Amino acid sequence: MSKTFLEYIWLDGYQPTQELRSKVRIEDNFSGKLEDCPMWSFDGSSTLQASGGKSDCLLKPVAIFNDPERDNGFLVMTEVLNADGTPHESNHRAQIDDDGSYWFGFEQEYFLMDNQTDLPLGFPRGGFPGPQGQYYCSVGGRYTWGRDFVMEHLDLCLEAGLNVEGINQEVAPGQWEFQIFAKGAKEAGDQIWVGRYLLNRLTEKYGYYIDLHPKPVQGDWNGSGMHCNFSNEEMRTAGSKELFESICEAFRPVVEEHIAVYGAYNDLRLTGLHETQSIDKFSYGVSDRGASIRIPIYTVEHNWNGYLEDRRPASNADPYKVAGRIIKTVKSAKVVA
């Protein structure tokens, strides 16, 4: 009789930023299929999702991936349900209204932090490294820190079956990024969360930790975002500049609604500097990394068939919330045929 490790992963009820939780279930002769992952429960009173008197919350499996660090193991992404089977208020995945045509690509930036110094890798005690400019996509020990960790994380993601499209060192020392693409808002969110899970689990053997705060280092340093690239069938095939402009304009009157779900402390990052637009302003433009929404040159060169990039989501944002809000706004766009 074979034994299988199922690591159930969920989001807790902490605010303003939810955190990952997980626990292991052992199954006999497991098929490896999502539909054979049983519902499970946990103590919601320990995760700010229930009271002690009615503490049971349910875990509904929604996606399954190989566990690259265990033989015969799987990572199971779940939604949190109330005891009666309804979505818990902290379950934002269940609220996404995806009609099946949306594709999402998230660019997840993060800082690798040293547990001994509580500073990003490359930052000396009591001081600062040289100014920005030499670190972005750099190579060599003078400007690059954490490559072994980052490459191991990439390998883990690929072995798990995540659709990682690339990695790169970012603008500040110790700052890195990985990119994930998926067809479907929920699927993209699942993969980002599992990618974050593997990222955090890996730090346990390196003596690091991950900081997703959008501005962990004050001063003349870039913050961390989770730029969101998105499209639907019409955007990919209509060949219409007017369509893209009308979608961008639909974002203008709902700036506050988007910022509300784009991550805590994002005001420290969206200042109008360091490749950002100010948090209280809205703009869009072709190839403009200082805009709220960038129209990629790819879209223009492909006869206005392509995608848009919302550059405002912070690195600590919930991809489920981000995707859900973007879909709602795109659906509200008034397009003249």
Q: What is the dihedral of CA 194, 200, 204, 208, to 10 degrees?
A: 150
Which ranges of the chain have pLDDT less than 50? 337
Beta bridge partners of 74: 6, 66
pLDDT for position 336: 55
Kindly report, residue by residue over 114-166, the tens digit of the pLDDT: 999 999 999 998 778 988 889 999 999 999 999 999 999 999 999 999 999 99
Amino acid in the structure at residue 99: D
Give the angle 162-165-166 at the CA atoms, nearest 5°.
115
| Other CB atoms within 10 A of residue 82 CB | 17
Helix (H) or strand (E) holding 42: strand 40-43
Contacts of 55 (CB under 8 A, 6+ apart): 43, 44, 45, 46
| Residue spans of beta strands (DSSP E) within 82-225 | 103-114, 119-120, 164-169, 175-183, 208-211
Supply 84's token pair.
Answer: 């009666």
Strands 308-310 and 293-295: antiparallel
Number of CB atoms found within 10 A of residue 201's CB = 17
Q: What is the pLDDT of residues 209-243, one digit of tens each?
A: 999 999 998 888 899 999 999 999 999 999 999 99
- Give CA–CA dist 151/260, Å, rounded: 33
Look at residues 332, 319, 288 and name the one whose alpha carbon lies nearest to residue 93: 319
Residues, the chain, total? Answer: 337
Distance, in Å, from the CA atom of 210 to the CA atom of 124, rounded to the nearest integer, reads: 18
Q: What is the residue type of 37? A: C
HSE toward the beta carbon, residue 282, CA cutoff 13 A: 13
pLDDT on residue 55: 95
DSSP-derived 3-state class of residue 202: helix
Please give the helix or strand (H or E) that residue 22 lies within, else none: strand 20-28
Domains along the chain?
A: 3-90 (3.10.20.70), 104-224 (3.30.590.10), 227-337 (3.30.590.10)
Residues 195, 99 contacting (CB under 8 angstroms):
no
* SS3 of residue 308 by DSSP: strand
Structure token pair of residue 43: 């103590």
Q: Output the pLDDT for position 170.
A: 96
Tokens matching residue 238: 């209509």
Per-residue pLDDT, 274: 83
